[in-house]
């Protein structure tokens, strides 16, 4: 039994005419008769009675007609859904991203993307750099948003946005009245620092700078989220190095003070990564094109 035979049977059951069935299916009458006979043989039942060149449904044919209606309707439904997938209107996107991009940059764009494609499902997980890389390489993620991606043969990396790290302190801190810091100040006036957990891209960069410039590594606390770090800094438990995107609201309302390091370039690039070995599904392609266009809206002051 195949779908073509079921379709021919369904038309014949409705018209009770081989001639009309042949015309509707653009087949010869002998071809229609052969297809119905093959279907009956495969089912091992008679579907039609043939009397004086007329056909009528047998009891088995009446039951099979009911099933043929359900089957053909289901196939139409499947084709309609698959057409939506092929057009990129339906599907699931799995994103892995750093704290900075996932919490403070992407959500506004994901909301807009969902308005354009309401049937698309989006799953976004906040991961540290190592976790996101591993899942992107293994194919568990459709896209990852990370800084400084490694040169891996399976990964394609494309520039997404610039970010800037700043020293963050409480308005009560003795540095709060300054308009900037220098490496010399950081070396001569070491302060308790609150860091992200091991594996975080931000932490890796901070530890590299501390080691390179001989700044005392006086870690007072480790936290797994930028929100936790912000609350600790607001309580004046130490200073931290955070993205300017992360502390934008707190800087505006005055609950945190952001200080540039004048003689150190603290800008960093984030990239959108995907596994080149994975098939680029239509929804993935639409999301990629959408988010690349939107990157021009992310903090114009940091583009250069």
Of 87, 122, 148, the one marking the end of a domain is 87
102 plus 223 within the same structural domain? no
Q: Check whether residue 157 and residue 282 sit in a common domain.
A: yes
Q: Where are the beta strands (DSSP E) in 127-251?
A: 143-147, 155-169, 180-181, 193-196, 219-223, 239-243
289 and 255 share one domain: no
Q: Please list, in sequence order, all residues whose beta carbon lies within 8 angstroms of the beta carbon of residue 2, skipping any fewer than 6 positions away.
A: none
**Residues 6 or more apart in contact with residue 229 via CB below 8 angstroms:** 194, 196, 223, 240, 242
d(CA 30, CA 133): 61
Residue pair 304/250 in contact (Cβ under 8 Å)? The answer is: no
31 burial type by CB count under 10 A (0-12 exposed, 13-18 middle, 19+ buried)? middle
How many Å from the N-terminal Cα to the C-terminal Cα in the chain? 64
Q: What is the CATH number of the domain that holds 61?
A: 1.10.10.10
pLDDT of residue 81: 72
pLDDT score recorded for residue 262: 86
Convert the pLDDT of each residue in 165-214 to its tens digit.
899 999 999 999 998 888 888 888 778 889 887 777 677 778 888 888 88
In this structure, the answer to whether residues 58 and 104 fall within a common structural domain is no
Strand partners, 166: 242
Q: Residue 34, Cβ neighbours under 10 Å: how many?
A: 14
Strand spans (E) along 52-154: 54-57, 91-97, 120-126, 143-147
Look at residue 172 in the predicted model and tell me its pLDDT.
Answer: 95
pLDDT tens, position by position, 261-295: 888 888 888 999 999 888 788 888 899 999 999 88
Let me know whether 186 and 103 are in one domain: no
CATH number for the domain that contains residue 150: 3.40.190.10
Answer with the one of 41, 61, 87 that is the final residue of a domain: 87
Of 34, 36, 53, 54, which is closest to residue 45 (Cα–Cα)?
36
Q: Using an 8 Å Cβ cutoff, are 269 and 147 in contact?
A: yes
**Together in a domain, 169 and 258:** yes
**Are 73 and 209 contained in the same domain?**
no
Listed in order, strand segments (DSSP E) in the chain are 48-51, 54-57, 91-97, 120-126, 143-147, 155-169, 180-181, 193-196, 219-223, 239-243, 257-261, 267-275
* Domain total of the chain: 3
Q: Please tell me the predicted confidence (pLDDT) of residue 299.
A: 58
Residues 101 and 133 placed together within one structural domain of the fold: yes
Q: Domain of 131?
A: 91-161+269-302
* C-beta separation of 35 from 4 below 8 A: yes
Do 108 and 151 share a structural domain? yes
The answer to whether residues 264 and 211 belong to one domain is: yes
Same domain, yes or no, for 154 and 281?
yes
List of the chain residues with pLDDT < 70: 84, 87-88, 201, 299-304
Q: Can you tell me the distance from the alpha carbon of 130 to that of 150, in angstroms, rounded to the nearest whole number?
A: 10
Cα separation, 146 vs 157, in Å, equals: 9
């Amino acid at each position: 039994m195949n779908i073509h035979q079921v379709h021919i049977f369904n038309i014949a059951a409705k018209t009770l005419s081989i001639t009309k069935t042949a015309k509707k299916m653009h087949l010869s009458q002998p071809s229609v008769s052969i297809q119905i006979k093959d279907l009956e043989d495969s089912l091992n039942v008679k579907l039609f009675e043939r009397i004086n060149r007329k056909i009528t449904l047998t009891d088995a044919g009446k039951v099979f007609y009911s099933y043929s209606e359900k089957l053909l309707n289901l196939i139409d439904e499947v084709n309609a859904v698959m057409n939506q997938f092929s057009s990129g209107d339906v599907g699931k996107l799995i994103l892995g991203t750093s704290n900075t991009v996932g919490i403070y940059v992407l959500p506004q764009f994901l909301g807009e993307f969902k308005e354009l494609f309401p049937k698309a499902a989006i799953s976004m997980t906040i991961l540290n750099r190592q976790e996101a890389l591993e899942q992107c390489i293994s194919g568990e993620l459709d896209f990852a948003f990370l800084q400084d991606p490694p040169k891996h043969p399976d990964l394609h990396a494309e520039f997404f946005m610039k970010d800037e790290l700043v020293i963050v302190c409480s308005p009560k801190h003795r540095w709060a009245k300054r308009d900037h810091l220098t490496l010399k100040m950081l070396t001569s006036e070491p302060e308790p620092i609150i860091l992200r957990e091991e594996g975080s891209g931000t932490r890796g960069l901070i530890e590299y700078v501390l080691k390179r410039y001989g700044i005392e590594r006086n870690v007072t606390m480790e936290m797994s989220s930028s929100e936790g770090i912000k609350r600790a800094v607001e309580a004046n438990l130490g200073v931290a190095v955070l993205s300017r995107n992360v502390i934008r609201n707190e800087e505006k309302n005055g609950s945190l003070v952001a200080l540039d390091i004048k003689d150190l370039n603290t800008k960093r690039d984030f990239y959108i990564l995907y596994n080149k070995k994975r098939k680029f599904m239509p929804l993935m392609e639409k999301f990629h094109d959408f988010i690349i266009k939107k990157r021009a809206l992310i903090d114009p002051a940091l583009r250069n």
